[in-house]
Structure 1
Amino acid sequence: VSALWYDIDYMDDYRLFTWDRTDFPDPAGLNRDLKAAGIRAVAIVDPGVKREPGYAVYDGGRERAVFCQTASGREYVGKVWPGDTVFPDFTLEQTRRWWSRWMADFLRDSALDGVWLDMNDPATGFSRTEEMRFKHGAIPHERYHNQYAHFMALASRAACGRVDPDGRPFLLTRSACAGTQRHAAVWTGDNASNWQHLRMALPCSLNLSLSGVAFNGPDVGGFMDDTNAELLVRWHQACCLFPFYRNHSMRDSRLQEPWRFGPAALAAIRGAIQTRYRLLPYLYQCFFAHWRDGDPVIRPLLYHYGNSEYAHLDDQYLVGDALLVAPILHGEGQGAETIHHGVKYQERAVALPPGWWFDLNHGVWAHGGRVLHYAAALDELPLFARDGAVLPYYAGPLRNGFMDLSAVELHLFCRERPARFEYALDDRETRRYERGAWGSAQIAAEIQGERLKVKIAETGHYPRDTVTFAPVVYGRPELAEIELTVNGKMVTRAVRADRRPWLCREWAVRI
């Protein structure tokens, strides 16, 4: 567990910037204890303010005239969680300043690590949304409807800057428009626990990624309705390498924690989650490359391969340029399936681009440039590493959010191509990288006979030797020796056999 999310029930009668002190007598103490255990705390914040004289947020906002109005100049009143509700007019600079002060105080006083912006479409309940106007009632609703969430995110990001000017805030928003990705991540809203919505999750997130919204993802498992063991497993497998990854469901749906669906489902979901955490160093590098070069974290195949057969392929994706994910997106009785030795396998076609790919389900090389007919058991996710790939991998203990990334393994997949990678180096906590305080390690690896030669050269404006790299090689059992050169210093040693976990499997490696 690396994060705990507070939904709307934490509030006192749905009043913004409050806590129900019966259930949460000391929220700041609780959140500090969670953080000490490696668990970050994220609270939901809606834009709607309870219309209640005597409630400080409402009284202060009304005094400053920060709420949206109707054409007649009255406060626009919606009907959402708090009952009668007014809405900040985020198009006004004074409203954004007012909001950022309230939110900054709330974050600081509650010791929260992140904010989850919801209902900011804006959702107004049974009231007529078109009657909500902006700029003190002068501007019609349609002018800023699509920008409402954007301005809310802008004000909320300013609040995070008040709390920690040099930190990297976590903001998540349900609604957004072009440019919101500068301020917040986006999740794709209230989906349902069914196979159709699982299938839709891939093209939705891929198109967002191609549109510049790299940090995005759905509610894993589905928000509405009831999931089942098979569906929940396939949701986790399909999305475990998405930029944003969260299991989330509504109050009255079937409880969706993985351990509620039996040992087989729990083991499969645990394998997917652990694989994500092992690959967090690689995902971080994909995020850094997005900041540096603009490349999305997850990509359709057409991003790198121009073949016409990939133009409309939206049921598999690439993570960076090195990993191909082809999840199972149908359940029992919905598509091709086989039974072998009493184990049921779901079948699908996998378009494998040209070149060699290492199959991380079966531990073997597969030749690309063709369509594979692939069968996967419940605990299997079709996952392939490209020939020439370097995957930074965390091999240490997994305990909540604690990860010592001063030691990173470089998982090398070299069959016919040498491996190349640029590993960004920075403090991973502050925004100093924006001011140039980062470096890179240029990694090159190739196999010559029984010898693996790896060269790592660090450059840039970051201290050297802050990360220890350990090469790990797949699919080359003949290797006997490694020649490792780091910043001009060479060592030669014998390699040894070992194993590394992927999903619910372990594969032989040379280290």
Structure 2
Amino acid sequence: AAVWTGDNTASWPHLRSSIYECLTYNLVATVQCGANVGGFYGDPTEELLQRWYQVGIWIPYFRAHSSEDSAPREPYLFSEEVQSVIRLAIKTRYKHIPYWYRLMFDHTESGDPLIRPLFYSYPEYIDYDDHFLIGEEILSRPVLEAGVSEVQVTFPGDDIWYRVDDDSWAVYEGGTNQSLAVNITTSPYFYRGGSIIPRMDIERPSTTQMMTDPFQLYVTLDDDENAEGLLYFDDYITLQYYTRASYFYFKLTYDSGTNGIRFQQISGSSDGFTPRIQRIVVHRRGTNKETITTTYTTTGDGTPLEDVVIVQQHLLLKEKEGFTIYL
């Protein structure tokens, strides 16, 4: 079942409250929570509407909705500048569909929430209603006030965090507070160091058309050059994931020694499921604290990653600059 936070208003306080209301719902296992993007009553300013979309993409139940007395606010009614900001936010949501899909499966198995207050994973971080986690690997610190050019970000724990929203992939130390620049197109979110985030980056008009698309793996190494993640998918349509345990659920582990990723089956019958990996992007912190990014589209022998059939006992050895995939 899905719930919404009630008939909210087009105001900055209600934008902020939509976060902690849905965090509360998630903590009591009602994870499909959302708020009316833009507010139900009243008319949001253009800035508020754009910022609300940037928050809404990280809330499980993402929808725009308003009362019949509010002015029409379909994105195409606004200027191209406003449309481009909203479009970018929605594209970000779609790219992370594989991550959301895996979180939903994990919730059915463990009961863990989809979105989490910082204290869920970092118990000493109590009073942060403007920060939240999506799973364990993504941190969001959205813009929740009008007219700001910077936000204060608290990075929890001993982890390092890579900034994604501005495409800088800059690295920040856990346990620190930083003032970060923002503009209307950026709403800070970060990948935790030590993570492998599966995405689908090919732009499609619907998730139906994404069903056979290849994955892109984003590897953000910790300072020990380690990373791991999870990849789950099924037929996206039937209940056979439940009735027949018919799904692909693997742990992915980066091996810095061989520059490879090991796939290890966790559960399910993966027969008939063959993930295609189009691109692997590895981010690491250099000796001067700079971010070093390497993108792989082929294996060591030049085979396009997308052509690699990942099956049991398949091993690709690194011969040149390329990637190794183990099973």
Q: Establish whether TM, by shorter chain, passes 0.5.
A: yes
Could you tell me which of 253, 267, 273 is aligned with 2:90?
273
**Cα deviation code 1:169-219 (max 9, x no counterpart):** xxxxxxxxxxxxxxx111112111010100111100000000110111100
| Ranges in structure 1 where 5+ consecutive residues have no aligned partner | 1-183, 338-344, 497-511
Aligned match of 2:139: 324
Instruction: List aligned pairs for 1:385-464, cutoff 5 A.
Output: 385-401=191-207, 402-405=209-212, 407-416=214-223, 417-439=225-247, 440-448=249-257, 452-458=259-265, 460-463=268-271
1:352 aligns with 2:155: yes
Counterpart of 1:489, as a letter, is H
Residues 405, 298 of structure 1: alpha-carbon distance in 2 compared, 3 angstrom cutoff? farther
Map 1:81-120 onto structure 2 (within 5 A). none
Q: Specify the structure having the higher radius of gyration (Cα).
A: 1
Instruction: Give runs of ≥4 in structure 1 deviating > 6 Å.
Output: 478-481
Structure of higher RCO (CA pairs closer than 8 Å, 6+ residues apart): 2
Count of residue pairs brought into register by the alignment: 297
Q: Distance in 2 between matches of 1:198 and 1:286?
A: 24
CA contact (8 A) 1:228 1:261 kept: no
SS of the residue 2:178 aligns to: strand
CA deviation vs aligned residue, 1:458-498 (integer Å, no higher than 9, x gap):
353231542223432234346889679863212236558xx
Check the 8 A contact 2:91/2:203 in 1, yes or no. no
CA-to-partner distance for each residue in 1:123-150, whole Å, 9 max, x for gaps?
Answer: xxxxxxxxxxxxxxxxxxxxxxxxxxxx
User: Counterpart in 2 of 1:173?
Assistant: none
Residue 210 of structure 2 aligns to a residue in which SS?
A: coil
- 5+ residue gaps, structure 2, are 285-291, 323-327
Match of 1:231 in 2: 48
Residue in 1 aligned with 2:77?
A: 260
The superposition leaves residues 373-420 of structure 1 with CA deviations (integer Å, 9 ceiling, x where unpaired) of: 122100001010001111110022312332134521221111424222
1:474 counterpart (283, 303, 318): 283
C-alpha spacing 1:487/1:441, structure 2 compared with 1 (3 Å)? same
Q: Can you list the C-alpha shifts for 1:69-115, whole angstroms capped at 9, x where unaligned?
A: xxxxxxxxxxxxxxxxxxxxxxxxxxxxxxxxxxxxxxxxxxxxxxx
Aligned to 1:488: 313
Change (3 A) 1:268 1:463: same
Normalised by the size of structure 1, how large is the TM-score?
Answer: 0.55
User: How far apart are residue 441 of structure 1 and its match?
Assistant: 1.4
Number of the residue aligned with 1:381: 187
1:205 aligned to 2:12?
Answer: no
Matched-pair identity in % = 30
Change in 2 beyond 3 A, CA 1:424/1:404: closer
**Contact persistence 2:211–2:236 (CA under 8 A):** no
**CA deviation digits over 1:216-243, x for unaligned, max 9?**
1100111100111100011000111211
Cα RMSD over matched residues?
Answer: 2.2
**Greater helix proportion:** 1
- Indicate if the aligned counterparts of 2:102 and 2:233 stay in contact, CA closer than 8 A: no
Paired residue secondary structure (2:259): strand
Paired letter, 1:467: P
